[in-house]
Chains A and B, each alone.
Chain A
Amino acid sequence: NAGVTQTPKFRILKIGQSMTLQCAQDMNHNYMYWYRQDPGMGLKLIYYSVGAGITDKGEVPNGYNVSRSTTEDFPLRLELAAPSQTSVYFCASSYYGGAEAFFGQGTRLTVV
């Protein structure tokens, strides 16, 4: 099992550009999550999904969109990138709510 795979690992965006952060898991997990982590801070939940076709907002959803068309994939879309979205983004998955969550290695995004 590859676990949770995030692509790309690094990206520099210009203000106003858009991009999609990819997240895939091969563990047949139902729950998937997107977090962001600013320097020196803890992780903040952006969006989560409890299964294909079901998504919900977390703590900081503004400026982001998600979709969950398959169990395996949970892409995060940034529209009109802003400097405040410079952060490290982590995707995670768990088999069910409350189970051990597995995290990807992160995507480091810089918006200039």
Chain B
Amino acid sequence: DAKTTQPTSMDCAEGRAANLPCNHSTISGNEYVYWYRQIHSQGPQYIIHGLKNNETNEMASLIITEDRKSSTLILPHATLRDTAVYYCIVEGSNYKLTFGKGTLLTVNP
């Protein structure tokens, strides 16, 4: 199963865009990239997923490079409530999701 690499932590100013990078250089052609986040110690929350085209929903945008070896999650206008651990996950065999340590995003006032 493909592994992902994310920075341990990032800061962002409230109201600015937060750009969270993820490397997944061993991703296979038919494996999706998922993003989840975990606020404090709550259950993870789904954000977005994609295969090769850029995706956007009401929460975020997902930009996947043409070679699919990396992606960026964009929160267009970060708020204090977006402070959380963000997990970038490449779907494994049998659709299993393997969570790494993620990126702690801290949104500052």
- Complex: how many Å from CA A4 to CA B91? 21
Pick out which of these stretches binds chain A: B11-19, B61-69, B74-82, B99-107: B99-107
The residues of B that contact A88 with a CB separation of less than 8 Å are 41
- What's the least CB distance linking A79 to chain B, in Å? 24
> Chain B: how many interface residues by the 8 Å CB criterion?
20
Q: Is the CB of A42 within 8 A of B101?
A: yes
Overall SS of chain A's interface: strand
The residues of B that contact A101 with a CB separation of less than 8 Å are 36, 44, 46, 97
> Chain A: how many interface residues by the 8 Å CB criterion?
29
Query: Which of chain A's residues 86-112 have a Cβ closer than 8 Å to chain B?
Result: 88, 90, 92, 94, 96-98, 100-106
Q: Is the CB of B44 within 8 A of A43?
A: yes
Q: Is the CB of B96 within 8 A of A42?
A: no
Sampled A-B contacts (18; CB under 8 Å):
A33-B97, A40-B101, A42-B99, A42-B101, A42-B102, A43-B44, A43-B99, A45-B96, A48-B94, A88-B41, A90-B44, A97-B94, A98-B32, A98-B91, A100-B46, A103-B45, A105-B43, A106-B41
B interface, CB within 8 angstroms of A: 32, 36, 41-46, 49, 87, 91, 94-102
